A and B are shown apart, each in its own frame.
Chain A
Amino acid sequence: DAGVIQSPRHEVTEMGQEVTLRCKPISGHDYLFWYRQTMMRGLELLIYFNNNVPIDDSGMPEDRFSAKMPNASFSTLKIQPSEPRDSAVYFCASSPGYPDTQYFGPGTRLTVL
């Protein structure tokens, strides 16, 4: 299996622009998670899905953030409009069960200028 796939790996954008991060979970995993990692706050859970349905989005920082999972093999995290304080590494992870071992993607490093 290719593992969790994220794209792009790096994204540099200007403040106010829309940013879309993409994730393909491991096939057969029913749970998908979006995390954000910064030096100041460490790793934080933003939202997670079960069978494509959002279960808990209490970690989403603001209404500027939205996440979707239209099918079992694809999810997006969108930031609109982006701000410099959104600069971070965003990870997607999937797991076969809950709570269970989570398998992380390589992350997307987002820089908002």
Chain B
Amino acid sequence: KQEVTQIPAALSVPEGENLVLNCSFTDSAIYNLQWFRQDPGKGLTSLLLIQSSQREQTSGRLNASLDKSSGRSTLYIAASQPGDSATYLCALANAGGTSYGKLTFGQGTILTVHP
């Protein structure tokens, strides 16, 4: 059974810092990996999706990498802003068997960027 772990559970940084959020997973048989953002009391917003054949994806100040061999993904946020404060979740779409395509979520990292 796929297990997804996100470290750290919470992170507080001053505005302007570059930061890295980590996601590790136990089963490398994945179809894709997604990073989501969740604001308090709201739904999830997809930030980046990396296919299993890709190594990274970039969108603006965000860069996500994927290393299936080591079971790791990172989300890099450059020049953080207070508006980046949210919970960030990674989710893996399983590649095979009865779980094909189903998303397994990590518990999330709560990010606070203070002015």
B2 at the interface (CB under 8 A from A): no
Known: A103-B46, A105-B43, A107-B42. 17 other contacts (CB 8 A): A4-B43, A42-B105, A42-B108, A43-B89, A43-B105, A91-B44, A99-B32, A99-B93, A99-B100, A101-B46, A101-B49, A102-B34, A102-B44, A102-B103, A106-B43, A107-B41, A107-B43
Which chain B residues lie closer than 8 Å to A102 at the CB level?
34, 44, 46, 103
Chain B positions within 8 Å of A105 at CB level = 43
Given contacts A42-B107, A43-B89, contact A98 B45 (CB under 8 A): no
A104 within 8 A of B: yes
Q: Is A14 in contact with chain B by the CB < 8 A criterion?
A: no
Residue numbers in A under 8 Å from B49 (CB-CB): 101
Nearest CB of chain B from residue A66's CB, rounded to whole Å: 20
Asked whether A104 and B101 contact (CB < 8 A) given A42-B107, A99-B32, the answer is no
Q: Chain A residue with minimal CB distance to B103?
A: A45
Interface: A56 (CB within 8 A): yes
Tell me, yes or no, whether B76 is within 8 Å of chain A by CB.
no
Which residues of the partner chain B approach A99 to less than 8 Å between Cβ atoms? 31-32, 93, 100-101, 103
